[in-house]
Chain A
Amino acid sequence: MNGMNVPFIGEVPSDIVVSWIVTILLGAALFWWLTTRRKWPLVWDYMTTTDNRKIGTMYILLSMVFFIRGGIDAMFIRTQLAIPENDFWVFQSQKYNEVFTTHGTVMIFFVSMPLLIGLMNIAVPLQLGANDLAFPYLNAISFWLFVAGGVIFNMAFFFNAAPNAGWTSYAPLATDTFTTGPNNNYYIFGLQVSGLGTIFTAINMIVTIFRLRAPGMKMTRMPLFSWATLITSFLIMIAFPVLTIALLLLMFDRIYGTSFFLGEYGDPVYWQHLFWIFGHPEVYILILPAFGIFSDVISTFSRKRVYGYTSMVVAIALIGLLGFMVWAHHMFTVGLGALANSIFAITTMLIAVPTGIKVFNWLFTMRKGVVRITTPMLFSLGFIPTFVIGGVTGVMLAVAAADYQYHDSYFVVAHFHYTMIGGTILGAFAGIYYWYPKMTGKMLDEKLGKWHFWLFIIGFHLTFMPQHFAGLNGMPRRVYTYTWEDGVFLLNFVSTIGAFLMGASMLFVAWNLYKTHRLTDPVGADPWDGRTLEWTVGSPAPEHPFQPVPQINSIDAYWYSKVERKRLPESEEARPSPIAIQTVAPVLLAGVLIVMSVGFIYGWVWMQIIGGIAALGFFIYRVFNDERKAVYRKEEES
């Protein structure tokens, strides 16, 4: 049961053998389905596209695949912890450590971020009246770098070398002195490659928002999701380079024998500083776009403009700014001293103020409105109390001295799941149900959507509410078992039941997808009676949707034009659109980077060299194959 001997590879735990079999079967089934349904041309079309809607859809599709992976990890964790002194399958000791490490890393970097980036891709250009992102080619690169990062990171498990130092990868545990083997190299290169893609996306979004807005769409008339995207992109631009360098230094420690973060001469706490200077803005990178989605959804389904637009924008900006001043609250117990701890406690508490402003503005958007409870609205409504619970425990954690008790206990686990699931994941679901017509031209079934919501939210609270108390009863995080005397059995048992309820709710998503695509008819441009520009173009959104480009004269211009029963005026002075092409080069670049990363992960220098030369070759190829050449030439000839 616990393992099997595979020629050339050695002893392999049985869970990995099972995953090989499942992957082969699913892969064969997918291949068969694509072939018999003649879907390969469609696959090729998506692989070579630079269109924002298609790329966004692929982001979401792939994040859902990773969501299943991270979710299965969660099920293993909860099953192992269901009862005291449990011995479930292989998930003890290092195996358990691998599971929670991949669960955390996958959920943050390969589920939450790409889900939000996918929604940004689909909705932001449409909300602005832009025909695409500013750099369609770069956007394809970003996506395929994310794919490459995801493949690298997930490969680890299949080769029995999953990272095992936690998603925070604390040194010196994560250095080669204490965790040998390729495991944590996978972590470094998976994040490095996908992180680069994220940085490019951020640049793309900023340029799009600054320069591609429709005439008359002033910054102060932008929907809040676009605003949130703008601020988030700045956070990414500032936070991710720090992670890049932290990973680079860790790579030198692991591969080239330096000792930046190692015991005697290095400084393990420096890793924590670098990681959290990235890591804390990262959690706002995950939550701000969700805030934006909720603002748009709540406003649409209350049939009212969002309450306190200005203070909403200021609040997002303030949260973003304060997000850079609070990183050390993850390090209250390392002994930074009373002054540092007090300062970081206060800055952390301050974040509650702009967050509170947003909560009250959402509530007052509903007041005096006509609140229609659709599935996206239901997710937004579920978000408010859930996130507020996560928020207040956040303030409790900010109390530096009290954090000496909460720190690294299940209380913290409960807190950040309340914010990450209660905020980011509920937001992503709301966004997916809301913009699904823009992605596919169809509308997800409302009844199944509500089933999904209720099972998910009840399962969620069942899972994570008890964990607060498990933490207060002294249960540290990242332990693979506990004793009867610990007195946390019932809490954990309830938690496990909740987790399976959440898992079950995802079956309704699968059913919903099947039902929607087999049985329902396409919908029109504006199925939700929306307010913003994305609802003026067809469903699914065509490439180059705004022809002609509308002239914008107010916030929620589309809504007010509907109220006045007029059409949006057409603009005479639209700017030229970015150039879309069909190209397979980004896919090839992803392949090259996977090869190069594997070379580094296993220390195969020949492979590093091949990968490096191929990557350079890509640049040269790109220089001579610029889609602008034809366009500029035409312009010069005329």
Chain B
Amino acid sequence: MNKRVLSFFVIAFLTGCQMRVLNPKSDTADTLTNLIYLSFGIMMLVLIVVFVLFVYFLRKFRERGKAKFNIPPDEKENKWLEITWTIVPVLLLAILAVPTVKATYDLTSKVSGSAGGSKGDAMIVEVVGQQYNWKFTYENGKESYDELVLPVDQEVQFRLTSNDVIHSFWIPNLSGKIDVLPGEMTKLSFEPREEGTYQGKCAEFCGAEHTLMRFETKVMSQQSFENWVQEE
């Protein structure tokens, strides 16, 4: 059974290149995807060790006709083994913790924080979430609903707030989530590097039609963006 599960996991993961989260199209999303692969790799190591021991012990020590009434010798514990399986996971987690903290600091200063962490030339888009749509306001005052248009290769900073309940802003290909809170402003920034249309969603349950609170993100060339944003 375990082999089956394992192979399913691996095959499905290999086909994962098409999955939105694992198919990043911005600098922020790149960092996240790399972290996901790193943590997945380390965790697979743990998983394989446990599965191998599990299968081996089960096959070797399973009760058979003769041994049925055997009473195995009494054993309590082995200090060195206990220390091993305490220290090794700690080391593995330390390996994981360093890039985690680094990425968290890099991205979170972009996500919230007063400085915003952007280089200063970021384009600012104000986002208002409300039951059940998204309003985007660009620097020149242009507004759009449920359609976010961004220029390629240009860092963009979102300033998000909500008119009613908590929402969460998520474009799987371009970045992780940031919650959209009433009465507060959160921030998020990234730089898309490929033109295309990406799905955006509300990820925090926000009421009856939470499901329908989606938007489309169109990343286009600088020129097309200029044309679009100047329209009307």
Please state if A338 and B5 are interface contacts (CB–CB under 8 Å): no
Q: Please pick, from B67, B76, B90, B103, the residue contacting A353 in the complex, using a CB distance under 8 A.
A: B90
Q: Could you tell me which residues of chain B, from 156 to 177, have a CB within 8 Å of some CB in chain A?
A: 164-166, 168, 170, 172-173, 175-177
Tell whether A575 is near chain B: CB-to-CB under 8 Å: no
Q: Could you tell me which residues of chain B, from 46 to 74, have a CB within 8 Å of some CB in chain A?
A: 46-47, 50-51, 53-54, 57-58, 61-63, 67-68, 70-74
A373-B176 contact in complex given A342-B104, A363-B53, A368-B72, C-beta closer than 8 Å: no
Chain A residues with CB below 8 A from B166, complex form:
170, 172-173, 268
Cα distance A395–B46 when bound, in Å?
11
- Which single residue of chain B is at the shortest CB-CB distance from A397? B39
1/0 per residue, CB under 8 A from A, across B1-35: the answer is: 11001001100100010111110000000011001
A370-B182 contact in complex given A173-B207, A357-B86, A395-B93, C-beta closer than 8 Å: no
Please state if B203 and A476 are interface contacts (CB–CB under 8 Å): yes
Kindly name the residue among A338, A371, A465 whose own CB sees the greatest number of chain B CB atoms within 10 A. A338
Chain B residues with CB below 8 A from A359, complex form:
50
Chain A residues with CB below 8 A from B229, complex form:
none
Chain B residues with CB below 8 A from A516, complex form:
none
Please state if B1 and A457 are interface contacts (CB–CB under 8 Å): yes
Q: Could you tell me which residues of chain B, from 67 to 91, have a CB within 8 Å of some CB in chain A?
A: 67-68, 70-77, 81-82, 85-86, 89-90
Tell whether B220 is near chain A: CB-to-CB under 8 Å: no
A346-B101 contact in complex given A178-B165, A309-B76, A352-B89, C-beta closer than 8 Å: yes
Tell whether B120 is near chain A: CB-to-CB under 8 Å: no
Cα distance A408–B213 when bound, in Å?
15
A338-B22 contact in complex given A303-B72, A333-B179, C-beta closer than 8 Å: no
Q: How far is the CB of A562 from chain B (nearest CB, A)?
A: 9
Cα distance A396–B201 when bound, in Å?
22
1/0 per residue, CB under 8 A from A, across B76-119: the answer is: 11000110011001100100110011011111110111000000
Q: Please pick, from A370, A389, A469, the residue contacting B47 in the complex, using a CB distance under 8 A.
A: A389
Please state if A465 and B181 are interface contacts (CB–CB under 8 Å): no
Please state if B182 and A264 are interface contacts (CB–CB under 8 Å): yes
Cα distance A341–B31 when bound, in Å?
16
Cα distance A395–B40 when bound, in Å?
9
- Which single residue of chain A is at the shortest CB-CB distance from B211? A479
Q: Please pick, from B21, B164, B172, B173, the residue contacting A172 in the complex, using a CB distance under 8 A.
A: B164
Cα distance A42–B204 when bound, in Å?
49
Please state if B86 and A263 are interface contacts (CB–CB under 8 Å): no
How many residues belonging to B are interface residues under a CB distance threshold of 8 Å? 93
A400-B100 contact in complex given A335-B186, A367-B61, A370-B63, C-beta closer than 8 Å: yes
Please state if B32 and A469 are interface contacts (CB–CB under 8 Å): no
Please state if A396 and B178 are interface contacts (CB–CB under 8 Å): no
A333-B177 contact in complex given A345-B101, A356-B85, A395-B39, C-beta closer than 8 Å: yes
- Which single residue of chain B is at the shortest CB-CB distance from A311? B82
A368-B61 contact in complex given A388-B47, A405-B36, C-beta closer than 8 Å: yes
Q: Please pick, from A395, A405, A466, the residue contacting B32 in the complex, using a CB distance under 8 A.
A: A405
Please state if A461 and B178 are interface contacts (CB–CB under 8 Å): no
Tell whether A402 is near chain B: CB-to-CB under 8 Å: yes
Please state if A367 and B43 are interface contacts (CB–CB under 8 Å): no
Tell whether A417 is near chain B: CB-to-CB under 8 Å: no
Q: Could you tell me which residues of chain A, from 454 to 487, have a CB within 8 Å of some CB in chain B?
A: 457-458, 461, 465-466, 469, 471-474, 476-481, 485-487
Cα distance A341–B40 when bound, in Å?
20
Please state if A172 and B113 are interface contacts (CB–CB under 8 Å): no
Cα distance A368–B131 when bound, in Å?
61
Tell whether B199 is near chain A: CB-to-CB under 8 Å: yes
Please state if B100 and A345 are interface contacts (CB–CB under 8 Å): yes
How many pairs, one residue from A and one from B, have CB atoms within 8 Å of each other in the complex?
Answer: 280
A408-B204 contact in complex given A401-B108, A472-B19, C-beta closer than 8 Å: yes
Please state if A384 and B54 are interface contacts (CB–CB under 8 Å): yes
Please state if B178 and A472 are interface contacts (CB–CB under 8 Å): no
Please state if B43 and A392 are interface contacts (CB–CB under 8 Å): yes
A352-B93 contact in complex given A304-B74, A311-B77, A389-B47, C-beta closer than 8 Å: yes
Cα distance A371–B70 when bound, in Å?
11
Please state if A402 and B177 are interface contacts (CB–CB under 8 Å): no
Cα distance A166–B172 when bound, in Å?
23
Chain A residues with CB below 8 A from B40, complex form:
396
Cα distance A308–B77 when bound, in Å?
5
Mostly helix, strand, loop or mixed at chain A's interface? helix
Kindly name the residue among B2, B31, B96 whose own CB sees the greatest number of chain A CB atoms within 10 A. B96
Cα distance A474–B201 when bound, in Å?
8
Tell whether A536 is near chain B: CB-to-CB under 8 Å: no
Cα distance A563–B70 when bound, in Å?
11
Chain B residues with CB below 8 A from A396, complex form:
36, 39-40, 43
- Which single residue of chain A is at the shortest CB-CB distance from B111? A335
Tell whether A407 is near chain B: CB-to-CB under 8 Å: yes
Kindly name the residue among B31, B43, B108 whose own CB sees the greatest number of chain A CB atoms within 10 A. B108
Please state if A338 and B109 are interface contacts (CB–CB under 8 Å): yes
Chain A residues with CB below 8 A from B207, complex form:
97, 173, 178-179
A268-B46 contact in complex given A308-B82, A472-B16, C-beta closer than 8 Å: no
Tell whether B206 is near chain A: CB-to-CB under 8 Å: yes
A472-B20 contact in complex given A302-B61, A384-B54, C-beta closer than 8 Å: yes
- Which single residue of chain A is at the shortest CB-CB distance from B49? A360
Please state if B19 and A334 are interface contacts (CB–CB under 8 Å): no
Tell whether B148 is near chain A: CB-to-CB under 8 Å: no
Tell whether A409 is near chain B: CB-to-CB under 8 Å: yes
Cα distance A155–B75 when bound, in Å?
53
A350-B93 contact in complex given A345-B104, A478-B205, C-beta closer than 8 Å: yes
Cα distance A36–B110 when bound, in Å?
71
Cα distance A388–B21 when bound, in Å?
23
Chain B residues with CB below 8 A from A479, complex form:
210-211
Cα distance A343–B40 when bound, in Å?
21
Tell whether A607 is near chain B: CB-to-CB under 8 Å: no
- Which single residue of chain B is at the shortest CB-CB distance from A563? B71
Tell whether A3 is near chain B: CB-to-CB under 8 Å: no
Chain A residues with CB below 8 A from B89, complex form:
352-353, 356
Chain A residues with CB below 8 A from B53, complex form:
360, 363
Chain B residues with CB below 8 A from A368, complex form:
61, 72-73, 75
Tell whether A274 is near chain B: CB-to-CB under 8 Å: no
A474-B20 contact in complex given A268-B166, A350-B93, C-beta closer than 8 Å: yes
Q: Could you tell me which residues of chain A, from 497 to 522, have a CB within 8 Å of some CB in chain B?
A: none
Chain A residues with CB below 8 A from B75, complex form:
304-305, 307, 368
Q: How far is the CB of A482 from chain B (nearest CB, A)?
A: 8
Please state if A402 and B63 are interface contacts (CB–CB under 8 Å): no
Please state if B181 and A268 are interface contacts (CB–CB under 8 Å): yes
1/0 per residue, CB under 8 A from B, across A321-357: the answer is: 0000000000001111110011001100110110011
Please state if B182 and A338 are interface contacts (CB–CB under 8 Å): no
Cα distance A264–B82 when bound, in Å?
53
1/0 per residue, CB under 8 A from B, across A175-197: the answer is: 00011000000000000000000
- Which single residue of chain B is at the shortest CB-CB distance from A340? B108
Please state if B96 and A405 are interface contacts (CB–CB under 8 Å): no
Q: How far is the CB of A515 from chain B (nearest CB, A)?
A: 25
Chain A residues with CB below 8 A from B149, complex form:
none
Please state if A407 and B176 are interface contacts (CB–CB under 8 Å): yes
Please state if A400 and B104 are interface contacts (CB–CB under 8 Å): yes
- Which single residue of chain B is at the shortest CB-CB distance from A265? B183
Q: How far is the CB of A284 from chain B (nearest CB, A)?
A: 18
Supply 12 A–B pairs (Cβ within 8 Å), ascending by A. Answer: A170-B166, A173-B205, A305-B74, A310-B77, A333-B179, A356-B86, A366-B61, A396-B40, A401-B176, A461-B5, A472-B20, A476-B201
The 7 closest A-B CB pairs, nearest first, are: A404-B176, A335-B112, A392-B43, A474-B172, A338-B108, A401-B103, A308-B77
Q: Other than the known A93-B209, A388-B47, what 11 A-B pairs have Cβ atoms closer than 8 Å?
A: A172-B165, A308-B82, A334-B181, A349-B96, A368-B61, A370-B63, A385-B54, A393-B43, A466-B12, A480-B211, A487-B18
